[in-house]
Structure 1
Amino acid sequence: MADNIPNDQALSSKDLLIHHLELKNDYINDLAQAIDDHDDLKIYQLIGPLRYKAEITDSYKNKYGDHPFDLVKDQREEVAHFLSDNLIDYLAEKFPFFYYHEVSRGQFTVFFGNWWDRREFGTLDVLNVEFNFKADELDKLEQVLKIEDDKTINSDEIVKLSEENENLQNHLTDADKRSKKREELVKQQSELSDKGGLFESGKLKEERQDIANQIAELDKLDEVSGSAPQTIKDNQSKILALSKEDTTLGYEKDALTHTFKTFESFQNHVKRLYVDYLSSLIGKGSVKNNG
């Protein structure tokens, strides 16, 4: 803890210890009073003086040291829960597509949208006034906002899987034709064997090899057909999941562009959240008490 005594050397060890303890007591009393007044700005000043001084105003006078909130760190969850009321009210206006679930006291999960199959997008750090988004979810949102209007993030993969299923279905449809063709080739192979002998001609050997190659190719196609029904089923499940994701991302795209127009604007507002929110509290003093 920092202290305001001009010359510590002039104090006895007892007086210095008492001064530091009194300073800690003053801090706790100030924090308690700010909470009682629901003065959220004062609370944020007291729990993070260095950041407030650096990002809001350099003129802020901090008499309690750089990290005074460590004194009451066992109350962090309670303070976060208390501050969340007005912060989430503010966020509902600035980021109307985000919804919050308090998974434990003072700990919030962020969801994008209130529609079915919405995505869990990250967490809200109330004490630091920050979003902590999942990198992969944020990346998908950025991609869908930059993709062409006639496409989706998964459209190419859906086309690929659909074409694969069509080819596999053709394999199944042609199974009877291949069976008949194989019977014909086996018969031809047998007939050539009857013609052959110890000194069969080169032409006869080529014919026999050609037939063997055709039979081998039919066998490969039959192997594909054997696993085709399960592969088709798996691909259909993948297509359904990808289509659902495209639908969800489409909702997110519409919601975000309605508020921010571009992904870059959204990111800028996210980065400025601490400054914007605390600036909105300046001059308000006590704010709405939600309980």
Structure 2
Amino acid sequence: MLAPVLVTLALLAQAPAAAPQAAQPAITLHVLALEAAGVPAHVVEFCQEHLYGELQRQGFTVLRADASGAERARARAVVVGELVLFPSGFRVTARARAADDGRVLAEHVTQNVPEQRLLDALTEAVNALAPQLRTRLAPAPVPLVAPAPQAERPLRKWAWIPAAGGAVLLGTGTAFLFQARSKQRELEAPQGSGEPVDGAAVASAGERAQTLSRVSYGLGGALVAAGAALYFLPVERLWGGGVSGPVRLQVAPGGVALSGVLP
């Protein structure tokens, strides 16, 4: 009889799990064509591809120099490289500017680079730019919201008292029920040659046992329901002004009903 009530109370007490957070998208960079002076075209082209690859290896989304206008609109920064040949060697420069206002976000310059170390110099430049770009282009941190403190449940520790009392009354009701059925069988049994049975007294005792059984079942069910409510539901709010409308406890032979509206 009380199983649906207890299952419903248990389901009401469960809280939904928190949804997992989505990963942050990669930062998009628009890489312009290398600016070169005194450098053969095939060297410039090879260094350009190397610059693309190193930025991608660092985890950036790279838009090539010939990207469309719609694609360039997604870029957070513009990266440009410079190769200038001097008598002492190459000057290798990598510079990143904000796509919205053109401010310099990061810059790295290496002087006197021999031709055989051009790719190494570009790699060093990308390694120097990458952490600065991640720091300056990272999305604004979302403030952490502290979880709401658990509501105090001082009455929960006493839930076993009405539950235990209800179990005792349910057992008592079962004993009275068996007694009432015994009296009914005594009335329905055929009369023998022994001492005659006082039918009125037996019937009265049976009715009394049946009444006591129903009362015990009703009170026991009410106490078990009260214990379950104390354990599973924040019933403290019922006395804290958080109920709209009266709270009613109805006991009937067929079950127990606890009514009230929580906010």
TM-score (norm 1): 0.29
**Structure with more of its chain in helix, by fraction:** 1
Where relative contact order (Cα < 8 A, 6+ residues apart) is larger, the structure is 1
More strand by share: 2
